[in-house]
Amino acid sequence: MQASKAGIKRLIIISAVLFVAAQTLFLINIQFPKGHNFDEFHYVPSAKQFLAMTENQNWEHPPLGKMIMAVGISALGDRPIGWRVMSTFFGALTLVGLFILAFAIFRNEQTALFAAAITLVNNLLYVQSRIGMLDTFMFALLVWGLAAFAAAWRTGLNPARTRLLLALAGMLFGFATACKWAAVVPWAICIILLMSVKLLQSWKTSFGGQSDDDWYSPGMLGGMGVFRIMLYLVVIPVFVYFLAFIPFLFIHKVPPYSVLDFFSMQTRMWDGQQRVVTSHPYMSSWTQWPLLSRPIWYAFDKEGTDWVRGVFLVGNPLLMWGGLLALLACLWSWVAHRSRAAFLILAFYAAL
């Protein structure tokens, strides 16, 4: 069932309200801390180097996130609001993207609004939207990519719309990866999911009592073949990813960069990631994040004689721990009822 024009208009209005509310909230006291906060020590100088078109010293990560930060610095100056304003913008986009993602999964406006509300009070988005870090840009693009992917994961969807949504998802995954390589994981999982569908279809797998709420059906993807899946989820993302490196051709350097240097940049980034083998005070394992056993002080600064300002990254315990129980409920709903919504939630949680 396609959304009506009135329904689409309503979604746009709600999205605009969510964006303005989030943007306003994230901008309050954005000037604190007054100095570089956590990884801003690395990324702000790199963004300024892109503005000056000089050799970039932060070669451990792709360039797009730092170029986005450079837009804020160019518009508002080399000061805290300039360093962080684009993060607030992309943080607000993330909240709207999560609303759209939840709507694509549940097909229910109230449930989608609830998902946006609990996202806003989970602290993580609030903190990350007020600091100049690559993760904020990467996650915003990922969320919108997953929203497009989830919208395409439907039985009976117009084949042309399915192709458009998957191409959009691929483009957004490419841009997300051009911010930070961590985006490769959800991107790869989406490819695996689509190839799994094609495998099940090749085996002529079907469920008894098929319904639109099933996570799989023989008619999914509108007859799309493997070639188109590779085009939308491999070729387009890779092409978009390398587009982010084009500004290097205009860097003031002797000899200048060429397109061939884009490939050596990838091996240099890979080598840089591989060399991070020693422990440091901010290290954590992936299990510590959902369990909240390793919160992080991004900043803890004394201001004058009466003030101490801190930036503390920790999730909302009610939501993070309660979310683990919700995952068990999703697992049951998927196994027992073949729930499409539960399947996508489990897949995206594993991806992120």
Contact by Cβ (8 Å): 97, 138: no
Q: How confident is the model at residue 304 (pLDDT cuts 50, 70, 90)?
A: confident
3-state SS of the chain is: CCCCHHHHHHHHHHHHHHHHHHHHHHHCCCCCCCCCCCCHHHHHHHHHHHHHCCCCCCCCCCCHHHHHHHHHHHHHCCCHHHHHHHHHHHHHHHHHHHHHHHHHHHCCHHHHHHHHHHHHCCCHHHHHCCCCCHHHHHHHHHHHHHHHHHHHCCCCCCHHHHHHHHHHHHHHHHHHHCCCHHHHHHHHHHHHHHHHHHHHHHCCCCCCCCCCCECCCCCHHHHCCHHHHHHHHHHHHHHHHHHCCHHHHHCCCCCCCCCCHHHHHHHHHHHHHHCCCCCCCCCCCCCHHHHCCCCEEEEEEEECCCEEEEEEECCCHHHHHHHHHHHHHHHHHHHHHCEHHHHHHHHHHHHC
Q: How confident is the model at residue 261 (pLDDT cuts 50, 70, 90)?
A: very high
Average pLDDT estimate for 186-190 = 98
Position 278 scores a pLDDT of 64
Host domain of residue 25: 5-260
Position 285 scores a pLDDT of 77
To the nearest whole number, what is the mean pLDDT of the chain? Answer: 93
Position 306 scores a pLDDT of 81
Q: How confident is the model at residue 1 (pLDDT cuts 50, 70, 90)?
A: very low
Average pLDDT estimate for 260-282 = 83
Q: What percent of the chain has pLDDT over 90?
A: 75
Contact by Cβ (8 Å): 222, 164: no
- CA dist 350 and 129 (Å) reads 23
Residue 321: inside a domain: no
> For residue range 33-47, what is the model confidence (pLDDT) as tens digits?
999 999 999 999 999
pLDDT higher than threshold 90 for residue 156: no
Q: How confident is the model at residue 329 (pLDDT cuts 50, 70, 90)?
A: very high
Residue 128: inside a domain: yes
Q: How confident is the model at residue 277 (pLDDT cuts 50, 70, 90)?
A: low
Which residue did the predictor score with more confidence, 164 or 286?
164
Residue 237: inside a domain: yes
Domains of the chain: total: 1
Residue 299: inside a domain: no
- CA dist 137 and 94 (Å) reads 9
Residue 282: inside a domain: no
Residue 132: inside a domain: yes
Using alpha carbons only, how large is the chain's radius of gyration in Å? 21
Position 3 scores a pLDDT of 61
Average pLDDT estimate for 168-189 = 98
Residue 240: inside a domain: yes
Residue 340: inside a domain: no
pLDDT higher than threshold 70 for residue 280: no
Q: How confident is the model at residue 288 (pLDDT cuts 50, 70, 90)?
A: confident
State CA 322 to chain mean position distance. Answer: 22
